[in-house]
Structure 1
Amino acid sequence: MTEINTRTLLITGCSSGIGLDAARTLSERGWRVFATARKTEDVERLSGEGLEALRLDYADPDSIAAAVAEIAERTGGRLDAVFHNGAYAIPGPLEDVPPAAMRAIFESNFLGWHDLTTRVIPMMRAHGGGRIVMNSSVLGLIATKWRGAYCATKFAVEGWSDALRMEMRGTGIEISVIEPGPIDTAFRKNAIAAFEKWVDWEKSARADQYRESLLTQLYEGSGGGYPASDVTKKLIHALEAPRPRVRYFVTPHTHVAGALKRVMPARLLDRLLDRA
């Protein structure tokens, strides 16, 4: 990889939250950042900040191909790092998540990540290495009820990342996974929009349960979270350390979840999480 002031980095999901903080911070550190977002208006706003902004929607393979081709043209075929960040949730009991909704969330949260990764690996191989960092979740370590669709995509990212890390050994391409807990982002707002699009709760066998508690959990929740900069700090280490870690835990929730996953029997952990 080149010196820090010439390194190139592609970040997805930069319209707000984690991706936006990462794009701003890494740009300030001297990286040449390609900040991507799904919506044209967000791309224009990022460009207005002085970032090199491109449209990239994980659910749109043509946009992935176009973004990678544009980066290759601008850099002479060099891309040193990718931070996979864009994802969303479809909250609700799995029995109420239509198959089409599950296909859609996997397209955005996993299959698009794979598509982008397979397109950038040849660029990294050509220059002797690179860094690929996945923004996973505490819900990629443990599953909780009502979040099954999102958990499924993050569990997929975890296994895929482990296999990719082993396969890339000896190529100079390092794979790391960041595991955030609750972060202060627009995640809940986006999840509500997905719920309203896909889940017909009034026809559910759990309609009374929705009225009694599930809708309140979704629309009110616990609120708050840790700053996006906590994730960016881990990202900096994953990108710049001579020997990056395999996994980076962010927030106490993730440290606790990781420990419980290792030592607690599955059914006992189920009961504990059911009370959370």
Structure 2
Amino acid sequence: MNLRNSTILITGCSSGIGYETALYLQNKGYQVFATVRKEKDVKRLQSLGLTTFLLDVTKKETIENTLNQILLQTNGTLDVVFNNAGFGQPGAVEDLSTQALKEQFETNVFGLHEVTLQVLKIMKKQGFGTIIQHGSVLGIISLKLRGAYNASKYAIEGLTDTLRLELRDTNINVTVLNTGPITSNFRKNAIAKTIKNIDIKNSRFSKNYAKNINADKSTVPFNLEAIEVSKIVEKIITSKTVKPRYYITKATYILGYLKRVLSTKKLDFILNKI
């Protein structure tokens, strides 16, 4: 499956990593199916020459409809899926409503899972495939004021590790990307979620929220451009042996290493400084 005409479905392509990866892979000669959850974004991406479909990972029928349309164009096969769609809901655990936590999981975990289930039917029938799950460094370690997002990415780790074990007797690869800080609209969207779902004024973390909202994003250490993730996705597509996970950004490598070598108490001390 290292041919340049490989077919790949990417979710969450309206901006950032999904958008850049769709353009990058298409320019490299892959048959890319970019998906977004808003009709206006479908038309915008189509105007750029991308084959684009409406797919909201929280709505099962849009997943099924889009996959059916894709299979008509590929003679019933699909080589790769990149489960990229997701968002971050900031907030201290004590400030998170159960509803806000549910919404975080609906997209980041349950939506990802539904796409995976639907794609597995195709890949098991054809006898091969690659599933790329977009995790995070926050699926390896936790940071304060990010409880919902941390939990969703830890859940992806658990699902991916289990699925990888269960697919050992097949030719289907499953891997996870542990990205650190990447240039995208993620932070802007997270701020909007903070303002919408967190009672900042009455929280004992109100100063922390204000600091995060007003922070200069250019000061984020080890930040990489989204294209660096795109290159890793292509590396996975062309690899004869797909690794269980791929660390992206120096922050992921550093924090992943500290997770392995430090006691929980010592790691907590460091993470509390971030």
Q: Map 1:125-144 onto structure 2 (within 5 A).
A: 125-144=124-143
Partner SS state of residue 127, structure 2: coil
Paired residue for 1:259? 257
Displacement, 1:255? 0.3
CA distance in 1 between partners of 2:44 and 2:129 (Å): 28
Displacement, 1:74? 2.3
Q: Map 1:1-276 onto structure 2 (within 5 A).
A: 1=1, 4-204=3-203, 206=204, 209-210=205-206, 212-223=207-218, 225-276=223-274
Task: For 2:251, give the aligned amino acid.
Answer: H
Kept after mapping to 2: 8 A contact 1:58/1:64: yes
CA distance in 1 between partners of 2:63 and 2:126 (Å): 21
Task: For 2:188, give the aligned amino acid.
Answer: K
Partner SS state of residue 145, structure 2: coil
Aligned residues: percent identity?
39
Deviations 1:27-51 (A, max 9, x none): 1122110001111111111111111
Kept after mapping to 2: 8 A contact 1:23/1:33: yes
Kept after mapping to 1: 8 A contact 2:200/2:209: no
CA distance in 1 between partners of 2:130 and 2:212 (Å): 38
- Of 88-97 and 61-70, more deviation after overlay is shown by 61-70
Displacement, 1:161? 0.4
Partner SS state of residue 214, structure 1: helix
Deviations 1:45-93 (A, max 9, x none): 1111111101111222221122112212222211110001111111111
Moved over 4 A (4+): none
Displacement, 1:222? 4.1
Task: For 1:251, give the aligned amino acid.
Answer: T
CA distance in 1 between partners of 2:146 and 2:182 (Å): 16
TM-score scaled to structure 2, two decimals? 0.95
Partner SS state of residue 246, structure 2: strand
Task: For 1:128, give the aligned amino acid.
Answer: G
- Unmatched 5+ residue regions in structure 1? none
TM-score scaled to structure 1, two decimals? 0.94
- Unmatched 5+ residue regions in structure 2? none
Partner SS state of residue 257, structure 1: helix
What's the C-alpha RMSD, in Å, of the aligned pairs? 1.4
Task: For 2:230, give the aligned amino acid.
Answer: T
Kept after mapping to 1: 8 A contact 2:83/2:132: yes
Partner SS state of residue 89, structure 1: coil
Deviations 1:227-254 (A, max 9, x none): 1111111111111100011111111100
- Of 64-73 and 98-107, more deviation after overlay is shown by 64-73
